[in-house]
Amino acid sequence: MRNRITGIFLILMVLAAGFAYAGGQRERADEAPPETESADETRQADTEPGTTIGTRISRDEIATVNGVGILREDFETAVAQTSQRFQMQGQPVSEAQMEEFRAEILEQLIAEELLYQDALSRGLEVSDDAVEAQFRQIRGQFQTDEEWEQALEANNTSESELREQIRRGDLIQQVVETAVADSAVAEITDAEVQEFYDDHPEFFDQGEQIAARHIIISTQGMESEAEIAEARERIEAIRQELLAGADFAELAREHSDDGSALQGGDLGTFGRGQMVPEFEQAAFALEEGEISGIVRTQFGFHIVQVTERMDTGLVPIAEVSQSIREYLGQQKQADALSEYVERLREEADVVVKG
């Protein structure tokens, strides 16, 4: 569905920002909940490495990692917020994918806990100054105290907890960097770049492209049929002039209702999927130099002329080799980190309670 390690990096990125989920608020599975302290009081409780960042009344755990619980409410928050992120990126999670998606998020939280515990076992540290600098950077994104308090409340956290989340994220990032460095990831060779280019032509095919120009009589803001009919009459009269041999660029500069008029109607080069459907269909159906009929779109009435047709094929490898090299390097690093997390998990006591 999605590369698991990509999800790990997503969690780390959000943790570094401090507002991902109210995670980091974990508890040892064998500790009893406080019975006398209020939620506000326990929120300010001192923390110990590897135990809790704040405490909660509920101890419903979905999994434990070496005795450290991952709370179900943290998991559900992570699911909701990560799903929202994918939706904002145009990749919504469907109902059919949700079960697998939830399983991946749980694996990501387990991986995060494994990496954090590994950081503690290595004796890694983050300076208070570094934490405070990141904290101030986050705080600076909110103009008023009210906005800041609302953000903290919405993320079920406090300033002290946020600082601990930042520290935790930095410790994990140190382990990630160490794991990737220890893997001795080799440089990407020219042969690997060539192989990727040859094996994935769909990534580099520019497809058919055309250069075109147009004249538009806008119908934006027109409400009456009479106004629209008048606009159509104007564009039809212009088309007759073109068919009679008038210069397209001159008529575009004189009559066209958009910014391309200054360039004689020139729209430059474009491929499929870049223009509104009605315009695209008409333009790609034209031969070079041919003048279209009247094309109506949501913007108005158009006359289109294709000035050049190009079957550009694949982008030359020289233009994309650096991008391929960077992509393959990132993949190798992701694979190295994934293997490292798997080794940590094999040595850990991980219990998924479902």
Provide the percentage of residues in the chain whose pLDDT is more than 70: 82
How far is residue 260's CA from residue 218's CA, in Å, rounded to a whole number?
13
Extract the tokens encoding 153: 């409340």
Please check the confidence at residue 22 and state whether its pLDDT lies above 60.
no
**pLDDT given for residue 5 in this prediction:** 34
Tokens of 298: 């949501």
Q: Per residue in 306-327, pLDDT tens?
A: 999 987 778 889 989 999 998 9
30 pLDDT above the threshold of 70: no
* Helices (H) then strands (E): counts for the chain: 12, 8
Domain 208-311 sits in CATH at 3.10.50.40
On whether the CB atoms of residues 183 and 339 are closer than 8 A, the answer is: yes
Q: What is the pLDDT of residues 111-166, one digit of tens each?
A: 999 999 999 999 999 999 999 999 999 999 999 999 999 988 877 789 999 999 99
Assess whether pLDDT exceeds 90 at residue 352.
yes
Under CATH, which number does the domain 4-188+323-352 receive?
Answer: 1.10.4030.10
Confidence class for position 186, pLDDT limits 50, 70, 90: low
Q: How far apart are CA 279 and CA 264, in angstroms?
A: 18
Q: Look over the chain and give the mean of its residue pLDDT values, rounded to a whole number.
A: 82
pLDDT digits 0-9 by tens, 193-210: 999 999 998 888 878 889
What are the φ and ψ backbone dihedral angles of 65, each rounded to 5 degrees? -125, 105
Measured CA to CA, the distance from residue 122 to residue 184 in angstroms comes to 20
**What does the domain layout of the chain look like in residue ranges?**
4-188+323-352, 208-311
* pLDDT above 90: residue 102: yes
pLDDT tens, position by position, 218-236: 999 898 999 999 999 999 9
Give the type of residue at 60: D
Predicted TM-score of the model (pTM): 0.56
- H or E stretch including 320? helix 317-347
